[in-house]
Amino acid sequence: MNRKKSSTLLDNAVNALASLPGVGQKTALRLALYMLRRDVEYTERFAAALLALRREVKYCRTCHNICEDEQCSICADPHRDRSIVCVVENIREVLAIENTGQFRGLYHVLGGILSPMDGIGPGDLQVDSLVQRVARENVQEVILALSATMEGDTTGFFIYRKLAHQPVNVTVIARGVSVGDEIEYADEITLGRAITSRTRFTCP
Amino acid sequence: MNRKKSSTLLDNAVNALASLPGVGQKTALRLALYMLRRDVEYTERFAAALLALRREVKYCRTCHNICEDEQCSICADPHRDRSIVCVVENIREVLAIENTGQFRGLYHVLGGILSPMDGIGPGDLQVDSLVQRVARENVQEVILALSATMEGDTTGFFIYRKLAHQPVNVTVIARGVSVGDEIEYADEITLGRAITSRTRFTCP
């Protein structure tokens, strides 16, 4: 007798949970049994929240961030600086940068990063819409906030080339030693970049 | 601007996922964004599997294992040895023991373990139904397959006392050095028990 025979309902639920990234069969079983211990309303609220997200989500027609209307709350906010556009890979980076509280401009979500190994080319990303947006709106600065990886650098260089004929400043977020890191443990490439990108000392 | 303002839909879904045990806010966000990348049907199948489990699950009236009918597939199986009942804490242990393929008797799911610290007393467990079952059916042996912890030992002793006046053999699963473990690294209590519970050597 295997587990399948003992309960199809449980098996279906475990397989559904185990299809999530990073969730194995054992964790999925633990989560399914947790749901059985909670009341029915818990699972109903849980399922409703996920279905609502997936069915009702829209993408902002300007920056491709997720939203509930035609335009996301950031693009619709009249207090944001519309002359600066920060280019990010995904929604997750929008949330991360918003949480810093250090940026008051707008975003442009590419929806991925150039990765020939995974079959992601320029056509899969929102690069053309960025170029049109920069030309159409009065964008003064495009900040590239992409991962400090080979793919991130490639994507950044590609966007830089695409924007080269437009009168816009293309900048890139600073790379250097992470706050709280000890120099001793910083890797050589990061440390080398931190030295060549040094800035004038200011009293905090 | 905080994340709440950026999307209520996303926030609700993240909070729902983060309410699962062992899932933090960051993991919940990663899972929610994964669902957004998959098609709508994926989330619909996902939600339907969990709702079906929670709404349609029943508990076997004999052993309290989960099932889809009045009786679970193990109790209903005519090939199982009905004279041996293995007492376990939860459904998870039923699945674990079934996966070993070494047991052909029936089960009795307590639904927990005695734990005064968590407010779980004898009344919260299926102990009385076990005593009645042993008296009613022709049970020859009750195997205690409980955790090798203080709570497991207490629960086992409590059940042993409750069954003392009945002509049934109460046994307990073997405790000793785990298969694959090196003696050097086994803890003293386990090693001590393994020595006192030694069995006659047999050629494998």
Could you state, in order of their start, the residue ranges of all structural domains in chain B?
3-56, 59-173
What residue of A is the nearest CA neighbor of B112?
A: A37
Q: Which fold has domain B59-173?
A: Dna Topoisomerase Vi A Subunit; Chain: A, domain 2 (3.40.1360)
- Residue B147, both tokens: 């955790």
Range B55-62 contact pairs with CB under 8 angstroms and sequence separation of 24 or more: B55/A40, B55/A43, B56/A9, B57/A7, B57/A9, B57/A10, B57/A36, B62/B106, B62/B133
pLDDT in tens, B107-155: 999 999 999 888 888 888 999 999 999 999 989 999 999 998 899 999 9
**Do A66 and B7 count as a contact with CB atoms less than 8 A apart?**
yes
- Residue B51, both tokens: 């709702």
What residue of B is the nearest CA neighbor of A80?
A: B1
All residues of chain A having their beta carbon less than 8 Å from the beta carbon of residue B51 are 43-44, 47
pTM of the model: 0.74
Average of per-residue pLDDT across B8-17 = 93
Task: Count H helices and E strands in chain A, helices first.
Answer: 9, 6
pLDDT in tens, A84-139: 999 999 988 998 898 888 899 999 999 999 988 888 888 889 999 999 999 999 89
Work out how many CB contacts closer than 8 A connect A with B.
Answer: 175
All residues of chain A having their beta carbon less than 8 Å from the beta carbon of residue B46 are 16, 19, 50
Greatest CA separation found in chain A?
Answer: 71
With CA atoms as reference, report the closest residue to B172 among B188, B191, B190, B159: B159
Percent of chain B with pLDDT over 90: 60
Residue B193: φ, ψ to 5° = -65, -40
Distance from the A12 Cα atom to the nearest Cα atom in chain B, whole angstroms = 6
All residues of chain B having their beta carbon less than 8 Å from the beta carbon of residue A103 are none
Can you say how many angstroms the Cα of residue A134 is from the centroid of all Cα atoms in its chain?
21
Tell me if A124 sits within 8 A of A111, measured CB to CB: yes
The CATH architecture one would assign to domain A59-172 is 3-Layer(aba) Sandwich (3.40)
Kindly give the parts of chain A with pLDDT less than 70. 1-6, 204
In angstroms and rounded to an integer, the radius of gyration of the C-alpha atoms of chain B is 22
Running DSSP on this structure, what letter comes out for residue B94? H
A20, A51, A57: residue with CB nearest B34: A20
What is the reported pLDDT for A3? Answer: 42
pLDDT in tens, B22-46: 999 999 999 999 999 899 999 999 9
Same fold, A3-56 and A59-172: no
Average of per-residue pLDDT across B170-185 = 85
All residues of chain A having their beta carbon less than 8 Å from the beta carbon of residue B30 are 21-22, 92
**Do A98 and B50 count as a contact with CB atoms less than 8 A apart?**
no
**Do A73 and B30 count as a contact with CB atoms less than 8 A apart?**
no
Rounded CA-CA distance A31/A18 in Å is 10
Q: Which of A5, A7, A59 to mutate to test the interface with B (most CBs of B within 10 A)?
A: A7
With CA atoms as reference, report the closest residue to A96 among B34, B27, B12, B3: B3
**Do B92 and A55 count as a contact with CB atoms less than 8 A apart?**
no
What is the reported pLDDT for A119? Answer: 87
ipTM over the 0.90 cut-off = no
With CA atoms as reference, report the closest residue to B155 among B115, B184, B117: B115
Rounded CA-CA distance A192/A197 in Å is 9
Query: What pLDDT band is residue B3 in, cutting at 50, 70 and 90?
Result: very low
**Do B31 and A44 count as a contact with CB atoms less than 8 A apart?**
no
| CATH class belonging to A3-56 | mainly alpha
All residues of chain A having their beta carbon less than 8 Å from the beta carbon of residue B36 are 53-54, 57, 66, 91
All residues of chain B having their beta carbon less than 8 Å from the beta carbon of residue A45 are 16
- In DSSP notation, B57-78 reads -EE-TTT--EESSSS-HHHH-T
What is the reported pLDDT for A6? Answer: 55
**Residue with the two structure tokens 């497991």:** B152
What is the reported pLDDT for A204? Answer: 67
The Cβ of residue A123 has, within 10 Å, a number of other Cβ atoms equal to 7
